[in-house]
Structure 1
Amino acid sequence: MERMMTGDGRVRTFAECRNRRNRRTLLRVSVVLGVLLAAILALLFCLGRFAGRGPFAPGVAQAKYSPSSWSLIVVNRWNRIPDDYPAPKLTRLSNGESVDSRIYPDLQRMFDDMRAAGLHPEVTSAYRTEAVQRQLLDEKIFLYQNEGASKEEARRQASQWVAEPGTSEHELGLAVDINASGATGTKDSVNEHQWLADNAWRYGFILRYPRGKTDVTGNAYESWHYRYVGAEAAKAMHESGQTLEEYAK
């Protein structure tokens, strides 16, 4: 067996020296990997802290809520429904949809006037539970994936149209999607949507996601989505062109 003399006068085999050398190499590699891992974690933390992305991204903040200004609560992709938001008392519509009972009188008055003008409005979507909202989002993601998008890209595209559960105004009971009765596409509701764009503010409703405001609202333009904010606020927003986010600052 081959041996070698060490600096301290001890005799070691070459196998012992090789093992000692390997341990030193492993220690150096471990230190380098530890430094790299720390750098990656620091980068991810900064990305989450300042860009809101990645595993260290902060959770969605709770929207500010006051019972005295309940109709002006701002819920969007950056502000989720607060934990203390009370479950809405609902009024069921003739087609099975439901809305917060506080907005029903103005909604009914608006629909009466629309019908008097020869239009045929229908609430095609109103109050949703969180479970229903999640199902709608999952279905939209599946459709985009089915068209060839990656899961991440499919979720990004889907979130432009369907809010994450807990961040949808439909879960408040204050939002309604309005189309022509029996419509199969937006082209079938042009007259109803134009009337609403011109007059909904008179009844306390606003077009929630107007053109050119995606960066502010977080949603693409939706000609059918109306949100109740009350007569005074709706009039002010109609005259100023502000979104709810801008008005409620």
Structure 2
Amino acid sequence: MRQKTRKKHRKGKRIVLSLLVLILTISAVRFAVNQTAFQDFLHFNTDVASMEHGWNLILVNWEYKIPKDWKVELTELSNGQSVDSRIYPDLQQMFDDMRAQEVYPVVASGYRTAKKQRELMDDKVDSFLAQGYSRSEAKSEAKKWVADVGYSEHQTGLAVDINADGVNSSGQQVYAWLADNAWKYGFILRYPEDKTEITKTDYEPWHYRYVGAESAAKIYESGLCLEEYIGMMN
């Protein structure tokens, strides 16, 4: 009797262990599937930005990442900021013309390294955390102002944040001039106030992106943002 009881007991243990292994296996598979789905939902499309329409019309945003083979040759400005050398002549001409009209701009931010972009994102997240946001909320809010590493136009060297010098001009003077004239030099207002649902970035009157004179004129005249313009070309 005791031997039969022991056998039944061992058999019961094996069944319990088998069931436990089965449950754990199913849970692991479900977790892996859910993690993948969650990552796909949370993370931006991993598509790489295309240069199909030329280097000046590369679309880098929340959805399209800078290609790994993207190379930028930089020209350093007088204040230590740098930009892609291909946009420098038009940028310089625009600034010269602004100053001739007694509007005094400065490039507050030009080309950024991945390290610098990461630091800016971390700082912005910390600022929202300090305001009482949860970490996930802080990250979400920060993305409205700062792009993730690899998804920032500043890393291409084609984008510039243009502000006033703070002495001879005000920010509003500079932003107003740029809104009316930057397209003539190949630059567009990258994040318009009425396009935030498309760009996924809040209105930034200081952020300008070089696309070349021809495309800048078309974008300015049409009222499209870069995402819409590229979409129309495709």
Which residue does 1:148 correspond to in 2? 132
Residue from 198, 204, 217 that aligns with 2:186: 204
Correspondence list, 1:12-161, <5 A: 12=4, 14-49=5-40, 52-53=41-42, 60-66=46-52, 69-86=54-71, 88-161=72-145
| Kept after mapping to 1: 8 A contact 2:45/2:63 | no
Asked which structure has the greater RCO (Cα within 8 Å, sep 6+), the reply is 2
| Kept after mapping to 2: 8 A contact 1:60/1:77 | no
Inter-CA distance 127–58: structure 2 relative to 1 (3 Å threshold): closer
- TM-score w.r.t. length of structure 1: 0.84
1:59, distance to aligned residue in structure 2 (A): 6.3
RMSD across aligned positions (CA): 2.2
Count of aligned pairs: 230
1:63, distance to aligned residue in structure 2 (A): 0.6
1:44, distance to aligned residue in structure 2 (A): 3.6
Structure with greater strand percent: 1
Which residue does 2:213 correspond to in 1? 231
Amino acid corresponding to residue 134 of structure 1 in structure 2:
R
> Partners in 1 of 2:156 and 2:39 — Cα distance?
29
Q: Any stretches of 5+ residues in structure 1 without a counterpart?
A: 5-10
The alignment partner of 2:207 has SS state of strand
1:69, distance to aligned residue in structure 2 (A): 1.5
- Map Cα deviations across residues 80-136 of structure 1 (whole Å, 9 max, x no partner): 1111212x2222211111111211121122112222222121111111111111111
Larger Rg belongs to: 1
- Map Cα deviations across residues 131-190 of structure 1 (whole Å, 9 max, x no partner): 11111111111222222222222221111111111111111111110111138xxx9411
Which residue does 1:7 correspond to in 2? none
Q: Any stretches of 5+ residues in structure 2 without a counterpart?
A: none
Correspondence list, 1:176-215, <5 A: 176-182=160-166, 188-215=170-197
Name the % identity: 46
- Map Cα deviations across residues 55-98 of structure 1 (whole Å, 9 max, x no partner): xx6862211125x7211111112111111212x22222111111
| Kept after mapping to 2: 8 A contact 1:97/1:126 | yes
> Partners in 2 of 1:167 and 1:176 — Cα distance?
15
1:224, distance to aligned residue in structure 2 (A): 0.4
Inter-CA distance 127–45: structure 2 relative to 1 (3 Å threshold): closer
